[in-house]
Amino acid sequence: MKTLIIAACLSLASYGLAQAADAPALSPVMSGPYEMDKTHASLTWKVQHMGLAYYTARFTDFDVDLNFDASQPEKSTLVAVINPASVRTDYPYPEKEDFDKTLADDAKWFNAGAFPKITFTATEITLTSDHTGSVTGDLNFLGVTKPVTLDVTLDGSHEKRPFAGVPALGFSARTTIKRSDWGLKTYAPNIVGDDVQIIIEAEFMKPKD
């Protein structure tokens, strides 16, 4: 039984790698609206701490509305919404301070009570190869809107994702912003760095009819 399970897993993995290798060859059936698979998505960020290591945290509540054009990906549309109150740091001393709540609620940090959403709306998509591109959009954070450009990679695609049986896409995205551009200057730049590296991994599936 164990051998059969391992063989099945290897078969699926091989199928996934083959699909990823063929990712740029997208078929028309892959065009249309997509829903983010929240069980296979992450949004993490990291900043320098006192000039030492990078402090890494994440948002656990976010969603992306993607309408994908397989024949002309640059005509796709994308809107992301992030709940700043969902910040998670794994700060090791919860009995002393609820650090996540401090970051979420304090006016010196994310001020989620006054600004309950962070949004990103794509305004321009540019292809740099068959499976890479840049997505420029308006990032609204703390009531300030400024342009941000993400470097995006199409990691893989399925016309029929295993188990789900619907078209699926997988993307990675990276960017670096200066938080002070949005007015978040607390302890910048010497205690907590000004540059924030953002790392996004996300899978999307077309809704079932």
Assign residue 12 the CATH number of its domain: 2.40.128.110
pLDDT in tens, 129-140: 989 999 999 999
Under 8 Å between Cβ of 208 and 32: no
- Contact at 8 Å (CB) between 76 and 69? yes
Exposed/middle/buried for 5, CB within 10 Å: 0-12, 13-18, 19+? exposed
CA dihedral for 89, 94, 100, 102, sign (positive or negative): negative
Q: Beta 144-158 vs 168-178: how paired, if at all?
A: antiparallel
Whether the CB-CB separation of 37 and 163 falls below 8 Å is answered with: no
The pLDDT value given to residue 11? 38
The two structure tokens encoding residue 4: 């059969």
Count of domains for the chain: 1
88 lies in which domain range? 2-205
At 16-65, the pLDDT tens digits run 433 444 444 688 889 999 999 999 999 999 999 999 999 999 999 999 99
